[in-house]
Amino acid sequence: MSAPLLETTWTDPVTGVRGYLVLDTLVRGLASGGLRIREGCTLEEVRGLARGMTRKEALVYDPADRYLPLGGGKGGIDLDPADPRAVDVLRRFLAAVLPVVRSQWNTGEDFGLRQETIDEVAAGLGLASTVEAVFATLEDAPAARSRLTRAFAVDVDGVSLGDLVGGYGVARTGVVHLERTGVPAAGATAVVQGFGSIGGAAARYLARAGVSVVAVADRAGLVRNDDGLDVEALLAARDPLGVVDRSALRPSDTSAPNDGWLDVSCDLLVPAAMSYVISADDVPRIRARAVVEGANMPTLPDAEALLHAAGIPVLPDFLANVMTNAWWWWTVFGDVEPTAESSFAKIDAVVRRLVTTVSDDAAARGCTLREAALDLAHRNAAAVQAAVGVTGGGTPAEEAALVRA
């Protein structure tokens, strides 16, 4: 792969913990992408995540929107988020990369990190938010700040709107795919791995669309009911890390080790937690009609090739889970009102457009959904470049490289 624009490896002077920041591309001098805390996080992982953000930003481009896509960036800290030192390590990491956060990198919560935690740390470092670099470019920054604040204050059935939009997009991606393949949502089945913000919301909105969620995997194991789980009861019984209190299970629900999620027969398999969880060795176990990537990079490339050969399409992460990032910027730039109704309507429309465009192209060319989505991102990046210019990063030519300045 071609080199990113910037890579930084940081070593915490107190604990020796490593942290990483990668800016893959800049558009108008800006990049967007979250910060994760995960034991085992590597520079290679963060590099791949930053590349994925370049793709996500380009993919949702619509010349009718006020929002003009940014470049892609990502941060990661190699530490268990439950470690009591995590917040202090986070504070020192952000202090070390503060000049980049102030001027280029717009970040937010990701795996292992809650938005309220990063906001609190940022405030202690003198930042009004973690997206100050974007606010500095806006004509009416106070109005944009107000929209974002009001949007995060919206409560939907006891959950912040900001914690729902990503998983809602994953669910809608799966439902639109079912429709296109002639499988009614009512009566279809799904397995969701991960029950945090993305996985929990994906399960909720799949169930509300009529899809029976028959298994959910969290850190404590697999919860399964072939007749369908009570998703709302499980959501009410989960802790802040997305672990379900097993005392809330019904007598007909069963528990098993969490690696059993790959073996459950279903229409939609939704990996929505960790990266690199589906390897080539796992493919013979998978009994799903499609994989919908709610997490970033959950399927290894050789596994995806085998799934494609077996007739199991993979809806790639930068298509399926793009809506958290897009929703932030639609809100900031004023393309949606800070309400659930406006937000969900926009997501519905964009998901249907993207899944339809990518699926039609893949069918016509006989290629994978990932290849078709990369080509769409490539075309959109060319349009953005024509308007404002792009610097740094990109994807290799053999993957339909994003246009570079």
Query: Residue 382 and residue 387: Cα distance in Å, rounded?
Result: 9
For residue 390, report the phi and psi dihedrals to the nearest 5 degrees: -130, 140
Closest CA to 401 of 107, 99, 24: 24
- Could you tell me the CA-to-CA distances from 132 to 25, 99, 104, 289, 364 in Å, in that order? 18, 11, 9, 42, 43
Beta-ladder partners of 105: 31
Give the residue among 264, 258, 259, 249 at the shortest CA–CA distance from 220.
258
Question: Residue 48 is encoded by which pair of tokens?
Answer: 């791949």
Polymer length in residues for the chain: 405
Indicate if 56 belongs to the active site.
no
| Segment 183-187 long-range contacts (CB within 8 Å, at least 24 positions apart) | 183/267, 183/289, 184/210, 185/209, 185/210, 185/211, 186/210, 186/211, 187/212
Given the residues 38, 74, 177, 346, select the one marked as catalytic: 74
d(CA 336, CA 355) in angstroms, rounded, equals 21
CA 356, distance to chain mean position in Å, is 20
d(CA 29, CA 207): 41
Residue numbers annotated as active site: 74
